[in-house]
Structure 1
Amino acid sequence: MKTILYSETGNPSVLHLVDRPVTEPRAGDVRVRIVVGGVNPTDWKSRRGTSPGEALAFADVVPNQDGAGVVDAVGPGVSNVAVGDRVWLALAAYQRANSGTAQEYAVLPAERVFLLPSAATFDQGASLGVPAITAYRALTVAEDGPTRLHPGALDGKIVLVAGGAGAVGHAAIQLARWAGATVITTVSGPAKAALATAAGAHHVLTYTDSDVATEIRSIAPDGVDLIVEVAPAQNSELDLAVIRNRGSIAVYANNGGDQMTLDVRKHFSLNVRYQFVLLYTVGIEVVQQAAAAINEALLDGALPVGADSGLPLHRFDLAHTADAHALVESGVTGKVLVDVSAA
């Protein structure tokens, strides 16, 4: 089978296309024929490491966490999926050398494999994983909020999504709106505003405007209930200016810097909760709960992808996975997909 791998950290040129034998699933594992793979920032960050030429945990690694395809074989003890099922994957490459989705057949634990509703496309399935589960987690950590999303779960709540044109921001807008929230988002300019609007945000604001806090307060006079935050270092002052008493700020990335300064007294006075979100260590139970709710949202038609839905798709074939990584690393807006095999 055709496989992309790397044996040291570095730029996209460390990714190589090789031929490898198809492996058999062991107990608890599932083999999936990958139709479409997804590339996320976490994939290129893992590949690049902190410096070129670093040793890896394994002799070589097949990259990419997300994808969708068809179950090709199952190992003993697997009951959640069967041969022939259409599925989507999450955390495929996490702590495993050969399970990433940049290959024709991936073998991974059954607990990371989820049925793809018949109405959903493989493109949708490959666009879930890291972005959608991260967004789901961010939307379910508030002190006064739901622990599970469903239609009506966020009725009466106001959610602010920072960076609504990004993949996680896009999913957060869609899931929050599906759950009944009023959704405000901040973006950098008109092009991204159009995407956030297409995703379903009720109010789209430019974060560089000097009066953006006033604009948010005009929509949410008592403050917003929950902030889904991509750039805490840049946005900490804005977040404090618009969060309500006992509001929560869910931080899932460090865009704009690793260090942030908080006014302790003002946060005290508002009983603000910060919740940091990292998908790798959140726990498989949370991932599975999120996947179940995401599938409900898919059935309701709440998670479309493509430019008309606010998430432009950029496509590559498997042999050009390095180009796909380079495009994500460049900060492209939209979702980068890798076409691996025919549907």
Structure 2
Amino acid sequence: MRAIVYERTGDSEVLRLVERPRTDPGPGQVRVRVAVSGVNPTDWKARSGAHGPVPPGGLVPNQDGAGVVDAVGAGVDPARVGERVWIWEAAWRRPDGTAQEEIVLPARQAVPLPAGASFDLGASLGIPAMTAHRTLTVHPEGPAALGPSALAGRTVLVAGGAGAVGHAAIELARWSGANVVTTVSSPGKAALAAAAGAHHVVNYREPDAAEAIGKAAPDGVHIVVEVNPGANAELNQQVLTTNGVVVIYADGGGTHLPIPILPSMMSNTRLQFILVYTMPDTAKLQAVKDITAAAAVGALRVGTDAGLPLHRFRLEQTAAAHDAVEAGTVGKVLVDVTHAPEDPEQVHLPDEE
């Protein structure tokens, strides 16, 4: 089978296409024929060395994907063969990610994909949707699970609503009954955030951003889903309600977080840092359950009309796909592994790079 591997960390040039022998699943495992692999910032960062050195034998990149189960190991229901699935945390503390034609992994990390949900959607869940789920369920007075009415009466402010995590947070929050406000930096991104389902879209670069958010959330914001905590610290404190929480899932390129101590104390503001890999196992499994339920009813979507444009690459173009994510491409970057996309013109041909 074909696979992308890297045997040392570095820029995308370390990624190369190789032939590898297929592997049979062991006890408690399934083998998935990968249709589409999803690329996230964590994937290029790991390739660059953020997760440590490369073990002997090299690594296959990419955490997320979707495909079809084609074999199962001992202890796994044989009826799962032929099942369409979405994959999460494929490459976390494992040598095999989804940038290959077949992947063997624990059965629980290949989740049944609801009828009507595309492989593109399945490959776009994983890291973004699980991160978004966690941001919405760590409030000390909030729900541990999402679903209709779970966030009723609460206002969620999603910073960067045009990004993959922001997109998922908007959709999950709206599905759960929240009043959803998002901030963006341009009219184009505003259109994407609105398409995702945000009730109110605010350009954070405008001088009256706090006032605009206040009008959309007259009782204050309960949860801030934060991608750039340093730059947004002052704005968040202006719009948070008492006992509000700022949930931080990215650093926005900064290394320090300015905190207005006395105002934060007076309002009992909570700062919650999260990382999907190290969040509690119970939280991961709840996220998987809720994300699948949301996908089943169409609450999670992909594509330009849904506010998340897709950018497609072929397996041999995985390096270019990593470069696109690292460059901050707006939307979701996908690698077609064994899947032929409906619109071949979306695929980035080698001579276009």
Please indicate, yes or no, whether the TM-score normalized by the shorter chain is above 0.5: yes
Deviations 1:160-200 (A, max 9, x none): 00000000000000000000111000001101001001000
Where do residues 191-270 of structure 1 align in structure 2 (5 Å cutoff)?
A: 191-270=188-267
TM-aligned CA deviation for residue 113 of structure 1? 1.5
Cα distance in 2 for residues equivalent to 1:203 and 1:247: 19
Secondary structure of 2:80's aligned partner: coil
State the partner residue of 2:4: 4
Secondary structure of 1:238's aligned partner: helix
TM-aligned CA deviation for residue 222 of structure 1? 2.4
Further displaced range: 217-226 or 228-237: 217-226
TM-score by length of 2: 0.94
TM-score by length of 1: 0.96
Further displaced range: 281-290 or 221-230: 281-290
Deviations 1:102-159 (A, max 9, x none): 0000011112111100110000000000000000010011122111001111111110
Q: Assess if the C-alpha contact under 8 Å between 1:111 and 1:288 holds in 2.
A: no
Cα distance in 1 for residues equivalent to 2:261 and 2:108: 41
Cα distance in 2 for residues equivalent to 1:61 and 1:227: 35
Q: Which residue, 122, 129, 146 being the options, matches 1:149? A: 146
Cα distance in 2 for residues equivalent to 1:142 and 1:208: 27
Deviations 1:200-238 (A, max 9, x none): 001001111111111111222221010000000111111
Q: Which residue, 168, 179, 184 being the options, matches 2:181? A: 184
User: Aligned AA for 1:48?
Assistant: S
Cα distance in 1 for residues equivalent to 2:152 and 2:225: 17
Further displaced range: 164-173 or 267-276: 267-276
Secondary structure of 1:38's aligned partner: strand
1:88 aligns with 2:86: yes
TM-aligned CA deviation for residue 59 of structure 1? 3.3
1:100 aligns with 2:97: yes
Secondary structure of 2:313's aligned partner: strand
User: Aligned AA for 1:298?
Assistant: A
1:36 aligns with 2:36: yes
TM-aligned CA deviation for residue 256 of structure 1? 3.5
Where do residues 1-343 of structure 1 align in structure 2 (5 Å cutoff)?
A: 1-49=1-49, 55-79=53-77, 82-97=80-95, 99-342=96-339
TM-aligned CA deviation for residue 285 of structure 1? 2.4
> Stretches of 4+ moved more than 3 A in 1?
none
Deviations 1:235-278 (A, max 9, x none): 11111111100111111000130211212211111111111110
Q: Assess if the C-alpha contact under 8 Å between 1:71 and 1:81 holds in 2.
A: no
Deviations 1:26-80 (A, max 9, x none): 11211100001100000000001259xx842443000000000000111112249
Secondary structure of 1:336's aligned partner: strand
Task: Provide closer, same or farther for how the CA distance between residues 223 and 302 of structure 1 changes in structure 2, counting only shifts above 3 A.
Answer: same
| Backbone CA RMSD of aligned residues | 1.5
TM-aligned CA deviation for residue 291 of structure 1? 1.0
Cα distance in 1 for residues equivalent to 2:185 and 2:81: 45
Equivalent pairs, count: 340
Task: Provide closer, same or farther for how the CA distance between residues 81 and 195 of structure 1 changes in structure 2, counting only shifts above 3 A.
Answer: farther
- Unaligned ranges ≥5, structure 1: none
Task: Provide closer, same or farther for how the CA distance between residues 156 and 80 of structure 1 changes in structure 2, counting only shifts above 3 A.
Answer: farther
Deviations 1:71-99 (A, max 9, x none): 011111224971110000000001011x2
Cα distance in 1 for residues equivalent to 2:174 and 2:159: 15
Q: Assess if the C-alpha contact under 8 Å between 1:92 and 1:101 holds in 2.
A: yes
- Unaligned ranges ≥5, structure 2: 341-353
Cα distance in 2 for residues equivalent to 1:199 and 1:80: 38
Task: Provide closer, same or farther for how the CA distance between residues 234 and 6 of structure 1 changes in structure 2, counting only shifts above 3 A.
Answer: same
Secondary structure of 2:182's aligned partner: strand
Secondary structure of 2:188's aligned partner: helix
Q: Assess if the C-alpha contact under 8 Å between 2:89 and 2:126 holds in 1.
A: yes
